[in-house]
Amino acid sequence: MAERYSSFNSGGRMWLLQRVTAAFLLIVLAFHFFLLHFVHHADEVSLAASSARMEQLSYYSLMILFLVTATFHGVNGVYNALVNQGLTGTKRTVVKWSLVAASVVLLFQGIRTANAWAGGFPLL
Amino acid sequence: MSQSYNRGLIEDFSRWREFEAGMWAWIFHKFTGWVLIGYLFTHIAVLSTAIPAADGATMMFQGSETDVFTGTIVSLEGLLLVRILEVGLLAVAVFHMLNGTRLLLVDLGVGLEAQDKSFYASLILTGAITVASVPTFIAGAF
């Protein structure tokens, strides 16, 4: 048995981006879970501790990249799953732009939150 | 050259009897993907309490005035249901990551003949990691 089970047309730009973001997310999601559940525990969360992490440019940049890649990977995955289920025509266009709008809102709110923790864009 | 595989619709009930490892892997990957994107939106919504907190908004928590971010998160983490849901989230994320790794390898042409076995390995490893993580995720909830 060597059939491909994939929601994507192989070889396209979105297909490649979905896989590149997957490889990145594998590492960063594991790091995120490990840091915020095993190194620090969930019930020890505080604004001061989150701010201290976010004020570091390296951590802030990683989290913003994490947000962007996770949003793309998730929303593109949903879109492709729906297309794969037979979504076509006007409905497909409406769903596509709704997902784009939802992504923009998520990114905007995520960056606002990161900036609230960091007290603005961290310079150091 | 690879080519697309026409699965038909999973809603066709009679097809459930035909399902094999590859199809279950596909269904679980979709299901866990939907859960994770849903969680991402919820996660950012809850974390957004940091915005008013940074502006000085406070709430009463366990008898003292606390910033709304810390108060909201610690209140949620104090609920056993939330802790159990977090274990579920971990299971969903770990399966999606392991099965996703398997899919990346398949796309690279690695292990094509062991797709069934690698799916079962993903399930077993997900179970093992989830069970091993329960003490850490539940700590402090009681």
Measured N-to-C along each axis, helices B80-107 and B68-77 cross at an angle, to the nearest 10 degrees, of 90
Mean pLDDT of chain A: 90
How is B32-53 classified by DSSP, letter by letter?
HHHHHHHHHHHHHHHHTTHHHH
Q: How far is it, in rounded angstroms, from Cα B41 to Cα B18? A: 35
Contacts of B25 (CB under 8 A, 6+ apart): A5, B99, B102, B115, B119, B122
CATH architecture group of domain A13-118 = Up-down Bundle (1.20)
Measured N-to-C along each axis, helices A89-118 and A57-84 cross at an angle, to the nearest 10 degrees, of 170
Q: How far is it, in rounded angstroms, from Cα A84 to Cα A31? A: 32
Helix or strand holding residue B59 (H, E): strand B58-61
Taking CA atoms, A40 is separated from A43, B56, B79, B137, B138, in Å, by: 9, 24, 18, 11, 13
Which amino acid, one-letter code, is at A64?
A: I
Partners of residue A116 in chain B, C-beta under 8 Å: 50-51, 53-55
**pLDDT > 90: percent of chain A:** 72
Helix or strand holding residue A32 (H, E): helix A13-33
pLDDT tens column, B6-35: 666 655 656 666 678 888 898 999 999 999
Helix or strand holding residue B89 (H, E): helix B80-107
Mean pLDDT of chain B: 89
B107 interface with A at CB cutoff 8 Å: yes
Taking 3-state DSSP, the helix, strand and coil percentages for chain A, each rounded to the nearest 5, stand at 75, 0, 25
Strand boundaries in chain A, DSSP class E: none
Identify the residue whose tokens are 């009679």: B14
pLDDT at B41: 98
Whether the predicted pLDDT of A4 surpasses 60: no
Q: How far is it, in rounded angstroms, from Cα B54 to Cα B16? A: 51
Where residue A1 falls among pLDDT bands split at 50, 70, 90?
Answer: very low
Where residue A74 falls among pLDDT bands split at 50, 70, 90?
Answer: very high
pLDDT at B1: 46
Please give the CATH topology (third level) of the domain spanning B19-138: 3 helical TM bundles of succinate and fumarate reductases (1.20.1300)
Q: How far is it, in rounded angstroms, from Cα B117 to Cα B57? A: 53
* 3-state secondary structure at position B63: coil
Q: Give the pLDDT mean for A1-9.
A: 53
Partners of residue A102 in chain B, C-beta under 8 Å: 41
CB B102 within 8 A of CB B39: no
Q: Give the pLDDT mean for B121-139.
A: 94
Partners of residue B30 in chain A, C-beta under 8 Å: 7, 81
* 3-state secondary structure at position A5: coil
Whether the predicted pLDDT of A46 surpasses 80: yes
Count of A-B CB contacts under 8 Å: 121
Token output for A5: 């089970």
Considering only CB atoms, A45 lies closest to which of B23, B74, B107, namely B74
pLDDT at A37: 87
User: Under an 8 A CB cutoff, do B25 and A74 touch?
Assistant: no
B106 interface with A at CB cutoff 8 Å: yes
Per-range mean pLDDT, top range of A7-11, A118-122, B11-15, B93-97: B93-97
Partners of residue B136 in chain A, C-beta under 8 Å: 37-38, 41
A interface test, pick of B27, B69, B76 with most A CB neighbours within 10 Å: B69
pLDDT at A15: 87
Contacts of B20 (CB under 8 A, 6+ apart): B116
User: Under an 8 A CB cutoff, do A74 and B136 touch?
Assistant: no
Whether the predicted pLDDT of A123 surpasses 50: yes
pLDDT tens column, B34-65: 999 999 999 999 999 999 999 999 999 888 99
What residue in A sits closest to B1 (Cα-Cα)? A10
User: Under an 8 A CB cutoff, do B137 and A42 touch?
Assistant: yes
Q: Give the pLDDT mean for A62-86.
A: 95
B interface test, pick of A9, A16, A45 with most B CB neighbours within 10 Å: A45
A interface test, pick of B1, B3, B4, B15 with most A CB neighbours within 10 Å: B4
pLDDT at B11: 58
Helix or strand holding residue B64 (H, E): strand B64-67
Q: How far is it, in rounded angstroms, from Cα B59 to Cα B72? A: 9
Predicted ipTM of the assembly: 0.89
